[in-house]
Amino acid sequence: MSKKYFGTDGIRGRVGDALITPEFVMRLGYAAGRVLTSIDSHLAKGAHPAVLIGKDTRISGYMLEAALEAGLSAAGVDVLLTGPMPTPAVAYLTRALRAQAGIVISASHNPYYDNGIKFFSSLGTKLPDDVEHAIEAALDEPMQVMESARLGKARRIDDAAGRYVEFCKSTFPNQLDLRGLKIVLDCAHGATYHVAPPVFHELGAEIVVIGNHPDGLNINEKVGSTHPQALQETVVKHQADLGIAFDGDGDRVMMVDHEGRLLDGDQLLYIIAAARQQVGLLQGGVAGTLMTNLALEHKLAAMNIPFGRAKVGDRYVLELLNQNNWQLGGENSGHILTLDKHSSGDGIIAALQVLHAVIQTGKTLSELGAGLTLYPQVLINVTTKQKIDLDNALIQDAVKQAEAELKDSGRVLLRASGTEPKIRVMAEGENQVQVKALAQAIADVVNQVAS
């Protein structure tokens, strides 16, 4: 059953549009409070359920935080406020503080004028589809207010940042440190700006930090994992050993070697998998998505490491990992899950796992990344004003023609974005000129159908 409000990563849109308004978000808080807290049956008699709320650094976060707080309080739910905090920090703190749910106000890598709402269960995991359906159903019911004696209260968690910093550090081996490494951190003017620097500094690294001056309007602006040029230039300028870029809410990571070469999520996933296999710590296989580069699948097969593809979205990677009892998975966008370390994708923790591989092997990031040569992959985003049927005969004919030309040396993928009004057209293979031409040909047909 399709969802009315939820996409692949919560509810997201432009601030002021139908969904990202104080009125809707207040009703969402009320509906979520009723549904999420009804799931937890372990509350003491008469105890108020509690929901943790964190946010990134967008100026609209103040407004939406207040609206959520009002809706949750009306539902009889206590609210724990962390202020600006990475999405994975909210997942951790929800578990650590025994809250019934966690909510993040963020639009991740999107510009400042977008925002959204993400939910975590009491276990620190993304909500399953049936719970999201239940919240949507509750949104269609009238909003009522608890009697005054049963209204929820709100309080701030003053030590939230410190708790999360210590948690991140705990995922790095106690007997190792980062002394001798010079690292550039790009915090995207986002939620990691005040937590990532102490993590890496306290583990011993010399750090240079950019993207750590949020003003509410500059999140992801020419910085962060989606705009790595600033990081690449800073790494070279400061002659650093490597660079690490997070996105606005801290659940994605990209890395840069000492020469300024970018390593994406597929390459980082390979480095972690190879290092773990080397010391016998890789449990089972590796989970990717439909967008994972074919070269990673081939490389893992050569290493006798099982590989599986999930739908795009870290929640679906998590589902596949749990189904197979595996621990490691991720997306080429930089969402990386290490379930032996955290219940959710975490940019800081993923970067620490890569650095563990660097220390463990004694090799540079460049040397480790050289073990995987990605196939050329061309992604074209086609903006649409209306919903497009990807089973359209013209589109399918174009796809079949491209697949016939690629044969076994590549593949084609079309999918609708879960967060934006776009059709993503991807082609990959060993010949970049060929895949670029094929992707453009398909995109032209999608444009034709959409017009």
The answer to whether residues 71 and 187 touch, using CB atoms and an 8 Å cutoff, is no
CA distance 204 to 176: 10
The answer to whether residues 107 and 71 touch, using CB atoms and an 8 Å cutoff, is no
The answer to whether residues 9 and 419 touch, using CB atoms and an 8 Å cutoff, is yes
Beta strands (DSSP E) in 159-234 are: 182-186, 206-210
Q: State the CB neighbour count (10 A cutoff) for residue 294.
A: 18
Q: Which amino acid is at 11?
A: I
Active site residue 108: yes
Enter the tokens of residue 403: 């697949």
Give per-residue burial for 269-293: e unless 16+ CB within 10 Å, then b.
bbbbbbbbeeeeebeebbbbbbbbb
Enter the tokens of residue 171: 């995922």
Give per-residue burial for 132-159: e unless 16+ CB within 10 Å, then b.
bbbbbebbeeeeeeeeeeebbebeebee
CA distance 94 to 116: 19
Question: Smallest Cα–Cα separation from 94: which of 64, 60, 77, 119?
Answer: 119
Angle at Cα 345 formed by Cα 377 and Cα 193, nearest 5°?
A: 100
Parallel, antiparallel, or unpaired for β 286-289 and 307-310? parallel
From the list 106, 108, 121, 333, the catalytic residue is: 108
DSSP state of 281: -
Full DSSP string of 80-117 = EEEEE--HHHHHHHHHHTT-SEEEEE--TTS-TTEEEE
Q: Which helix (H) or strand (E) holds 263?
A: strand 262-263
CA distance 370 to 358: 13
CA distance 270 to 265: 9
The answer to whether residues 380 and 443 touch, using CB atoms and an 8 Å cutoff, is yes
Parallel, antiparallel, or unpaired for β 336-338 and 242-246? unpaired
Enter the tokens of residue 145: 């207010």
Question: Smallest Cα–Cα separation from 108: which of 314, 377, 383?
Answer: 314
What residues act catalytically? 108
